[in-house]
Structure 1
Amino acid sequence: MRPLIGIPCHSGVGAESDRPIFFNNKAYIRAVELAGGVPILIPIFEDLSGLETLLPRLDGILFSGGIDVHPSVYQEEPHPMLGETNPLLDKLELALMRYVKEKELPTLGICRGMQLMNVALGGSLYQDLQSQYPGSLKHPNWELPRNHMVHKVIIEPGSRMEKILGVRETRVNSLHHQAVKSKGTGVVISGHAEDGVPELLEVPGHRFMLAAQCHPEEIWRDEPVWGKLFHAFIEECSNAHKRTTLTIDKLFAPIQTHIQAI
């Protein structure tokens, strides 16, 4: 049976209807689907107890790109160049990260997803690379096509990423203005851009917890090595795992103090 992969939604306004919507980019859906998974969009719950029904049915979670994580979550004040944030999205995704960590659920992070993963494990972020990381490349290339290759990523030898991708170096797109600063507990940076900015992340102590700062869902057709990442993720999600019930209040209680401060 094909594994069910949860993908958290973002919130916005419909271009034609001007009505509030939950959504995510089609590229994530197609990448998961064509790698053999069944994508399930997770709305931004106001009442997280609704996750009790959903989460035990999932075989993996993909944390996608999107808006900035609010810096209060990693105990920093907002930088003047901080972009849009959404406390409810942070609350949902931090809860999901706590779940995947405790239940050893296979997890893939992309762009914001890599940053969220690091923050959830106790790390911090550069809130704006251009102003906080002297000598950095131009990483936010939002004016370019999303599949435009911008710079190289050098992959650490012996890392799980090297084993999955099968290369020590590859080119990537670049659509971010934030990045990992201090590493979270158990986090290993397994790839860097030419300027030293972290581009790949893995957590060796977890069954499958990997992340990319680029957007492989946009470039895997042009750079087949990135298709290997999605296939490895779906393959791990396909392996049988013990489904257990959970108590939402106990699982999410540790993050409430941070969220209320936003």
Structure 2
Amino acid sequence: MRPLIGIPCHAGVGAESDRPIFYNNIAYIRAVEAAGGVPILIPILDDLAGLQTLLPRLDGLLLSGGIDLHPRHYNEEPHPMLGKTNPQLDDLELELVRWVVRENLPTIGICRGMQMLNVALGGSLYQDLEAQYPQSLKHPNWELPRNQIVHRINVQEESRMATILGKYDLGVNSLHHQAVKEPGSGVIISGRAEDGVAELLEIPDHRFMLAAQCHPEEIWNDEPAWKNLFGAFIEECSQPVVKQLHAMDTVLEVSARTA
């Protein structure tokens, strides 16, 4: 049976109806589907206790790109260049990360999703790269097509990412203005851009928890390495769940108390 992959929604307004909606980009859906998974969108619930009905049915989680995380989750005040945030979305995704850590569920993070994994495990972010990391490349290329390759990343040899991607150097698109600053507990930065900005992340203690700062869902059709990433994710989601408790649980508990 094909694995069921949860993807959190974002909140917005319908362009034609002007009504509140929950949504996500179709590219995530297609990437999961093409790799052999069955995607299901998770709405932003008013009562997160409702997740207890849904989450046991999931075989994996994909944390997608989106708006900024509020810096209160890593004990910082908002920077003037901080973008739009949504407290309910933050709370939903933090709860989802707590779940996948406890249940040892395969997880992949993309852009904001990479940042969320890092923050949930006690790490921090650059709230705006241009302002706080002035030697950085131009990472927010929102005016370009989403599948346009704009810079290259170096993948750490002997990392799980290198094994899956099959490359130590590859081109990426770039659509972010925030990035990992201090890695969280158990977090390994397994790929960086030429300017040193974190581009790949993995948590070796977890069964499968990997993340990319770029948007592989937009370029997997053109770059086999990213197709390998989605394929490895879905393959792992197809395996029986093996519960595993480890030190990350303590980090998540601390994060929950300070949020």
TM-score, normalization by structure 1: 0.94
Matched, 1:96 2:96: yes
Cα displacement string for residues 149-197 of structure 1 (whole angstroms, at most 9, x for unaligned residues): 0000100000000000000100000000000000100000000000000
Deviation at 1:242, TM superposition (A): 5.7
Matched, 1:58 2:70: no
Residue matched to 1:226: 226
Matched, 1:71 2:71: yes
For 2:21, the aligned partner's letter is: I
Q: Show structure 2 runs of 5+ residues with no match.
A: 244-251
Residue matched to 1:212: 212
What does residue range 151-170 of structure 1 map to in structure 2 within 5 Å?
151-170=151-170
For 1:172, the aligned partner's letter is: V
4+ long deviations beyond 3 Å: 252-259
Residue matched to 2:249: none
Residue matched to 2:140: 140
For 2:185, the aligned partner's letter is: T
Deviation at 1:254, TM superposition (A): 6.1
CA distance in 1, matches of 2:253, 2:201: 26
CA distance in 2, matches of 1:174, 1:48: 32
Residue matched to 2:19: 19
CA distance in 2, matches of 1:256, 1:239: 29
CA contact (8 A) 1:32 1:38 kept: yes
Cα displacement string for residues 109-143 of structure 1 (whole angstroms, at most 9, x for unaligned residues): 00000000000000000000001002100000000
Deviation at 1:40, TM superposition (A): 0.6
Residue matched to 2:45: 45
Matched, 1:125 2:149: no
Residue matched to 2:108: 108
Q: Show structure 1 runs of 5+ residues with no match.
A: 244-251
Matched, 1:184 2:184: yes
CA contact (8 A) 1:114 1:201 kept: yes
For 2:134, the aligned partner's letter is: P
RMSD: 1.3
Matched, 1:202 2:202: yes
3-state DSSP of counterpart to 1:192:
strand
CA distance in 2, matches of 1:163, 1:253: 32
Deviation at 1:255, TM superposition (A): 5.6
3-state DSSP of counterpart to 2:210:
strand
Does the C-alpha gap of structure 1 residues 20 and 210 become closer, same or farther in structure 2, counting only changes over 3 Å? same
3-state DSSP of counterpart to 1:205:
coil
Cα displacement string for residues 194-239 of structure 1 (whole angstroms, at most 9, x for unaligned residues): 0000000000000000000000000011111100000000000000
TM-score, normalization by structure 2: 0.95
Identical aligned residues as a percent? 71
CA contact (8 A) 2:69 2:85 kept: yes
3-state DSSP of counterpart to 1:96:
helix
For 1:173, the aligned partner's letter is: N
CA distance in 2, matches of 1:173, 1:22: 25
Deviation at 1:74, TM superposition (A): 0.4
CA distance in 2, matches of 1:242, 1:119: 24
Does the C-alpha gap of structure 1 residues 46 and 255 become closer, same or farther in structure 2, counting only changes over 3 Å? farther
CA distance in 2, matches of 1:164, 1:134: 32
Deviation at 1:240, TM superposition (A): 1.4
Residue matched to 2:248: none
Residue matched to 1:240: 240
Cα displacement string for residues 39-75 of structure 1 (whole angstroms, at most 9, x for unaligned residues): 0100001101111110000000000000000000100
Matched, 1:149 2:149: yes
For 2:50, the aligned partner's letter is: G
CA contact (8 A) 1:95 1:255 kept: no
CA distance in 2, matches of 1:128, 1:181: 11
3-state DSSP of counterpart to 1:161:
helix
